[in-house]
Structure 1
Amino acid sequence: MTTRDVAGAGSDRLMYGCMGLGGSWDTTPYGASEISEAEAAIEAALDIGITTFDHADIYRHGKSEAVFGEVLARTPGLRERVTVQTKCGIRLADGDRPGRYDLRGPSIVQRVEESLTRLRTDVIDVLLLHRPDPLADPRDTGEALTALHQQGLVRRFGVSNMGAEQIAHLQRHVDFPLVENQLEMSLRSRGWVESGVLVNTPEGAANGFPFGTIEYCRVNEIRLQAWGSLAQGRFTGRQEAPNEHATARLVASLAEAKGTTPETILLWWLQRHPARIAPVIGSARPTRIRACRDAALREPALTHEEWYELWIAARGIPLP
């Protein structure tokens, strides 16, 4: 792999999620084929202007970070041109111990040190706390984040899968701003947008998304990142329910009319929201990564009416 000029000089509109890299979801060692697959995916992401790469310490039992580190080590100058983000806080099941969450201070520090080793870098640009830990003391968590920041091991911090009150509670215990919140957001996972319009409706009671989170992040300049942004292919090839078939037809029609791809239409639907959401795409296939080019390099070309058409088609029922 060679470094070269990246189209668009890098884009923060779109991020590449590395969860699919590194081989199987077990402890089987990775090899040359997994490194080559990672190299091809990273190159495809760079080709369309993506320069932010999202990881987590648990992805493929650490192998996703490790193969990415291999590519960084093989490609002089690449580390300086990309933003490396990773997450910690989830512990996978091991032996008789179930999967669990762990945001205790010493655990955070240990996990960051292990990620730095696997990624072959001396600093993580962004660290996200992967999921809330009900047993965590926010003072203890905050002290760990502060120590990592003061030691120059992590530049910026954020959270993942947290609501407004959880973020505010943690923010009280760190002196620097939390700047990112990564949530499941897509045309299929619409709780984030529906929570704001289903207030005072019977349907609203069944919406589990924490109301006010999007508004809190906007007010506090916390960037929203969308995981699962392509809806697991539900509108680009894996349709099951009748509303998914109808939505897929609409997505394809809009893509043809605008001279782009169905993947781009799905990403534009997120990016069109005034919160300036940054979708995370997770495919390891270079062809599908490159299909997202226009979402990385162009402003969302959806009208107000088209955005609503997509939303209502995906809902399968009218808005209240």
Structure 2
Amino acid sequence: MKYINIANTDLKVSNIIMGNMRLTQLSLLEAEKLIRTAMEEGINFFDHADIYGRGKCEEIFSEAIQMNPSIRENMILQSKCGIRSPEGYFDFSKDHIIKSVNGILKRLKTEYLDILLLHRPDPLMEPTEVAEAFDELHNSGKVKYFGVSNHNPAQIELLQKYIPHKLVVNQLQFSIAHTPMIDSGISLNMKTDQAVNRDSSILEYCRLHDITMQAWSPYQHGFFEGSFLGDLERFPKLNEVVDSIAEKYGVTNTAIATAWITRHPANIQVVLGTTNIERMKDACKGAEITLTREEWYQIYKAAGNIVP
């Protein structure tokens, strides 16, 4: 397992993250086996959100591993808040953030979060309220560091103007089959759909401001439209190339899809959403592979992208 330091923190983290969105699909025994396997593979970072299973996923996590101080000190816990479900809107009010974190801590059976992320941008956000909430959470020892998820540069700048705490993480959708963070930069000034800047150059912005990026849905295409791996109908060329490179390294296609993300010099963490132990192990193997520049571009082009 490779480890990176999240800038402006004291956190040394695995470049693979275990995401816990689907824990409700498992029994407590199955969840325990999955979590402990992750730790045995070297994963020390666990991602949650208060809306995952409407809080049930956090409860299953802490109950499955029988959370206690000795276990807690060996893991980095991150959770997210700001989406009101099932109401169907976003809420960055001070009261909601504070209430959400208190609920998260209770469900995870821990006294603090290493990182709290604001899940999706709230257009009605009052940044001074967010600043007050963050101050209260940090000063009480409930949250060590803060970040965002699915935010563009201007949204981050607006928050950072009012928040004295450095935003250290931005979690974004990224996979071989979902590459808007790469596309517009590589096709600059071309009259093609690929050249459309859909995210305000968020990848370069995060690198310039020492914000660690985390890739969610690393094996998906579209917005939860399914995995591109093994989808020979829609991604025949991509699977052909990925499978060929996987055979060269003696690993699975999951490993190569992981290695493609971790090959980027931005040190992007990969958020696994799988509940399959073998797939988790495959992904961890991929995190240790350094693809050549030629292989990285070969895969990028096989996904249907233009390299001018």
**1:74 CA drift (Å):** 5.3
| Equivalent position of 2:73 in the other structure | 80
**1:55 CA drift (Å):** 0.4
- Per-residue deviation, residues 162-221 of structure 1 (Å, max 9, x unmatched): 011111110111112100000000001111111212332232577463122111111111
- Per-residue deviation, residues 98-151 of structure 1 (Å, max 9, x unmatched): 411111111000000000000000001110000000001011111111110111
Task: Write the distance in 1 (CA, Å) between the matches of 2:250 and 2:77.
Answer: 32
Alignment match of 1:137 (pick from 126, 138, 150): 126
Q: SS at the partner of 1:22?
A: helix
Percent sequence identity over aligned pairs: 38
- Per-residue deviation, residues 299-320 of structure 1 (Å, max 9, x unmatched): x4211111000000002x5334
| Equivalent position of 2:253 in the other structure | 262
Alignment match of 1:89 (pick from 82, 94, 107): 82
| Equivalent position of 1:284 in the other structure | 275
Contact 2:41 2:284 in 1 (8 A): yes
Task: Write the distance in 2 (CA, Å) between the matches of 1:239 and 1:42.
Answer: 31
| Equivalent position of 2:59 in the other structure | 66
| Equivalent position of 2:140 in the other structure | 151
Contact 2:187 2:195 in 1 (8 A): no
1:191 maps to 2:180: yes
Correspondences of 1:36-55 after superposition (within 5 Å):
36-55=29-48
Equivalent pairs, count: 296
Please give the TM-score of this superposition, normalised by the length of structure 1: 0.87
> What residue ranges of structure 1 are gaps of 5+ in the alignment?
1-6, 24-32
Task: Write the distance in 2 (CA, Å) between the matches of 1:129 and 1:240.
Answer: 37
Correspondences of 1:235-314 after superposition (within 5 Å):
235-241=228-234, 244-296=235-287, 298=288, 300-314=289-303
| Equivalent position of 1:171 in the other structure | 160
Task: Write the distance in 1 (CA, Å) between the matches of 2:2 and 2:306.
Answer: 39
Q: SS at the partner of 1:77?
A: helix
Task: Write the distance in 1 (CA, Å) between the matches of 2:193 and 2:228.
Answer: 25
Contact 1:66 1:118 in 2 (8 A): yes
CA distance 1:127–1:48, change in 2 (3 Å): same
- After superposition, the CA RMSD in angstroms is 2.0
| Equivalent position of 2:8 in the other structure | none
CA distance 1:230–1:176, change in 2 (3 Å): same
Task: Write the distance in 1 (CA, Å) between the matches of 2:95 and 2:138.
Answer: 14
**1:261 CA drift (Å):** 2.0
Greater shift, 81-90 or 188-197, is seen at: 188-197
| Equivalent position of 1:222 in the other structure | 211
Greater shift, 163-172 or 209-218, is seen at: 209-218
Contact 1:14 1:295 in 2 (8 A): no
CA distance 1:239–1:144, change in 2 (3 Å): farther
Contact 2:183 2:195 in 1 (8 A): no
Task: Write the distance in 2 (CA, Å) between the matches of 1:184 and 1:119.
Answer: 25
Task: Write the distance in 1 (CA, Å) between the matches of 2:173 and 2:70.
Answer: 32
Contact 2:169 2:214 in 1 (8 A): yes
**1:8 CA drift (Å):** 7.6
Task: Write the distance in 2 (CA, Å) between the matches of 1:18 and 1:301.
Answer: 27
Correspondences of 1:115-130 after superposition (within 5 Å):
115-130=104-119
Please give the TM-score of this superposition, normalised by the length of structure 2: 0.90
CA distance 1:238–1:37, change in 2 (3 Å): farther
**1:295 CA drift (Å):** 3.1
Task: Specify the code of the residue in structure 2 equivalent to 1:166.
Answer: Q
Contact 1:234 1:240 in 2 (8 A): no
Q: SS at the partner of 2:172?
A: strand
- Per-residue deviation, residues 17-67 of structure 1 (Å, max 9, x unmatched): 0001023xxxxxxxxx62122112112211211110000000011111110
**1:273 CA drift (Å):** 1.1
| Equivalent position of 1:13 in the other structure | 15
| Equivalent position of 1:318 in the other structure | 306
Greater shift, 55-64 or 203-212, is seen at: 203-212
Contact 1:198 1:204 in 2 (8 A): no
Task: Specify the code of the residue in structure 2 equivalent to 1:251.
Answer: V
